[in-house]
Amino acid sequence: MSVWEVVAILIAGVGAGAINAVVGSGTLITFPTLVAFGFAPVTATMTNAVGLVAGGVSGTWGYRRELRGQWPRLRWQIPASFVGALIGSWLLLHLPEKAFETIVPVLLVLALALVIFQPRIQRWTASRMASAPVDDNNDTVLSPARLALVTGATLLVGIYGGYFTAAQGILLMGAMGVLVSDNLQRLNAAKNLLSLIVNVVAAVTYTIVAFDRIDWAAAGLIAIGSLLGGVIGAKYGRKLSPSALRGVIVLVGLIGLWRLLV
């Protein structure tokens, strides 16, 4: 890699780590960056999943206080994310690479659309929220039917995330926002944890099964950048302009989409 590519990938990692901690679509920074530099889409996805684990750890740790009281729901969502990530990783490794190259532009357009319409999703989510019922331990309570729906939605997002990680956080926030009556910042903390689980499972799977298909230099740069970005996002992310973040994500995503199509 040239010095320019090293710097660009490192900066993309910082941006992705920060954005993942706050919004949940940081992959739309790093994935198109790798593709723009000539990485094959499957290689870019695997490298990206490995590199962003570090940022997921720092972002989740930064939101650790907001995780308190969510265990009754998370004890079902965590296994769902784990299983979903395994299924998605299996699909990525076993479906023909041509199929991935065909599907990814569609997924990328969907992810970009979710980023663009995220403010409306959040407003709609907030309008449906009321004070969450709690038990004697101050843990949020869901009915069995709603808990099953949340768990099923988490499984589906985990499959998507194991196959193509971009915007899985927005999908999770949308699903949980509709089904769970809780504070958005607390849901964001849960999103960070569940997305981290998906990335860890995917990264370990790719490392074991396809070690030679991962670009470890690029993964290392993304890991360093995303680790720092996750800390920055958790600490200062709420002060950043959401419109500016979305603009950067959409711009880089469109560049990556153009690179994929041509």
pLDDT digits (tens, 9 = 90+) for 65-107: 888 888 889 999 999 999 999 999 999 888 887 887 788 788 7
Rounded distance, CA 225 to CA 51, Å?
Answer: 9
DSSP-derived letter for residue 134 is B
- Asked if the model's pLDDT at residue 247 lies above 80, the reply is no
Question: Based on the number of CB atoms within 10 Å of its own CB, is 139 exposed (0-12), middle (13-18) or buried (19 or more)?
Answer: middle
Residue 140: strand, helix, or coil: strand
Q: Record the tokens describing residue 147, joined without a space.
A: 């808990």
CA 30 to chain centre: 12
Beta carbons of 44 and 257 less than 8 angstroms apart: no
Average pLDDT over all residues of the chain: 83
For residue 209, the SS3 value is: helix
Rounded to whole angstroms, the Cα distance separating 213 from 43 reads 6
pLDDT(139) > 70: no
Question: What is the per-residue pLDDT for 178?
Answer: 73
Over residues 170-176, mean pLDDT:
79
pTM score, two decimals?
0.80
* Single-letter residue type at 212: D
